[in-house]
Amino acid sequence: MSGNLVIKNASQLVTCSSFKAKQGKEMSDLHIIEDGALVIEEGIITAVGKTEDVLAVSHEADFYSRGFEIIDAQANAVLPGFVDSHTHFVFAGYRDEEFSWRLLGHSYMDIMKKGGGIFNTVRATRSAAKEELIETGLKRLDSMVSFGVTTVEGKSGYGLDRTTEIKQLEAMKELNNRHPVDIVSTFMGAHAVPQEYTGKEDAYIDYIIERVMPEVTDRNLAEFCDIFCEKNVFSVPQSRRLLLKAKKNGLKIKIHADEIVPLGGAELAAAIGAVSADHLLHASDKGISDIAEAGVVATLLPGTAFSLKEPYARGRYMIDMNCAVALATDLNPGSCFSESIPLLFALATLYMNISIEEAITGLTINGAAALDLADTAGSLDVGKTGDAIILEYPSYKFIPYHIGVSTVEKVIKKGTLIFDNVGPLNYKKIF
């Protein structure tokens, strides 16, 4: 799918330039080039700069003669493709009724205790054929692209048994082959304690380590391992045991940390070298300090706090404490059924006191860093994958300003146009 493309005359070329996560004050620096140009050759960025400088090296006629597509972005801002670094997008079993229960005052944990919550999705996902997971996954990926997402992380964790966990990961591998969006797979067999292991959490960790993880690693079905480290789910010692075993077996590690109560998940993430610690609604001051010092990316999921009507993670405090903060949707059927990037930007900027610039960094280079991809994705730098979005407006500031509405006009993946919103009466998706 790799292509040859030139974007010229961009009103703003928002490069987000970096090859590592941006921490603290660095998150405000977007490295903007006015009247910018970008050259992508065989899917890789080969030139970035002012239009006159880029076209002085290779003239426009030369690009045409070599079969390049040329896009004039004179009235448009151009940014890196968004990286959604935390989702659970491969699943069967919607939970719309439970959303209504939450509106009546039932907590997420209360619903789980009654046998609802994740277990409804587990039952449905266990029953679903792999092709069904692939078909619904394709539709969700198409929607993500329309919001400017070019790389996404997807977790298993709706099987809680060997057969279904493997089925979810196989579906993601097939989706990665069939859809232009790059998918980073995470093995999350420890998403909850299955009902058949109630009261036997240590035995379930043993099962994951001994019966499921070897097949995941032997077949290269995932790049990361994650666990829900939470009160009444998996303890800090249990999480440490699983994640260190995963790390020993070659998987990079993430952790759902301090979402419901301040359990110490952030401190654990820093101590064992996790790539990211996610949620962090109740992370302690020490936990935040620890992950900042250790260089663990703090992945914040404001859509989930919004959906659950919970206090938001302390994004402003984390950035001020020199954390590298990423933002992600947490698309899932229970606590946040939304892949909306516009909603994410609105919540981060209006309710978390995160600046527009910091939010963009959180969805680009820091999102890539949360997936250990900062050397190849997340910014418009020479040598990186040619993933970019073109807005319908001349400034990146329109992203949150046009509240709740996508401002993405075109999406480029590896130098090929894969989405073009050309108007309400002539809307097309190109895959």
308 & 412 share domain: no
Q: Specify the pLDDT at position 30.
A: 98
Instruction: Say how many domains are in the chain.
Output: 2
393 & 319 share domain: no
> pLDDT digits over 116-127, tens only?
788 999 999 999
293 & 328 share domain: yes
362 & 401 share domain: no
- Tokens coding 352: 């978390």
pTM of the model: 0.96
119 & 217 share domain: yes
124 & 74 share domain: no
| 98, amino acid identity | E
CATH code of 416's domain:
2.30.40.10
34 & 14 share domain: yes
CATH code of 337's domain:
3.20.20.140
Is 90 exceeded by the pLDDT of residue 114? no
Pick the last residue of a domain from 339, 369, 399: 369
The residue assigned the tokens 């280079």 is 365
User: With bands split at pLDDT 50, 70 and 90, how would you rate the model's confidence at 427?
Assistant: very low
283 & 417 share domain: no
118 & 131 share domain: yes
Domain that residue 11 falls in: 5-81+377-429
Pick the last residue of a domain from 369, 396, 413: 369
Pick the last residue of a domain from 369, 392, 412: 369
Is 80 exceeded by the pLDDT of residue 334? yes
Is 60 exceeded by the pLDDT of residue 431? no
Q: Averaged over 310-331, what is the pLDDT? A: 98
Share of the chain above pLDDT 70, in %: 97
201 & 239 share domain: yes
333 & 319 share domain: yes
Pairing, β 77-80 against β 388-391: antiparallel
Is 50 exceeded by the pLDDT of residue 44? yes
Is 60 exceeded by the pLDDT of residue 428? no
141 & 260 share domain: yes
